[in-house]
Copies of this chain bind each other. A is one copy, B any other.
């Protein structure tokens, strides 16, 4: 069912400094900052030949990653995002196997303007999983 790994998201305390390390030491293709106020984050995408890394810092009060950075002030790996063809079919299959979908189960519009859902990390070995319909 799941297709490509769309991105790995890393929560960082300082987006500019993080981007400089990816462009410098790692010599990666680093984009410009993008503000996503409706998601409470400012992000920079690092484009790799086969997928993307999403560096994200909190934007505005009540950012969904503020709590994560309180627990891990240095930052850390936050979630992985897998592509699916049909998000409602994917949700139904996951729920039928006992996995919990976060929120009320209705897909939201993600950072790429496509429908997304998040799965409970307790059902996937502590790993927060986003599924995105592409």
Identify the A interface with B (CB < 8 A): 1-5, 8, 10-13, 18, 21, 24-28, 48-51, 53, 55, 72, 74-77, 80, 82, 93-94, 97-99, 121-127, 129
Which residues on the B side are within 8 Å of A94 (C-beta)? 25-26
Which residues on the B side are within 8 Å of A3 (C-beta)? 48-49
Known contacts A24-B97, A97-B21; A50 and B123 CB within 8 A of each other: no
Which residues on the B side are within 8 Å of A97 (C-beta)? 21, 24-25
Instruction: Please classify the interface of chain A as helix (H, G, I), strand (E, B), loop, or mixed, using the class held by over half of its residues.
Output: loop
Q: Are B51 and A126 in contact (CB under 8 A)?
A: no
Which residues on the B side are within 8 Å of A123 (C-beta)? 21, 25
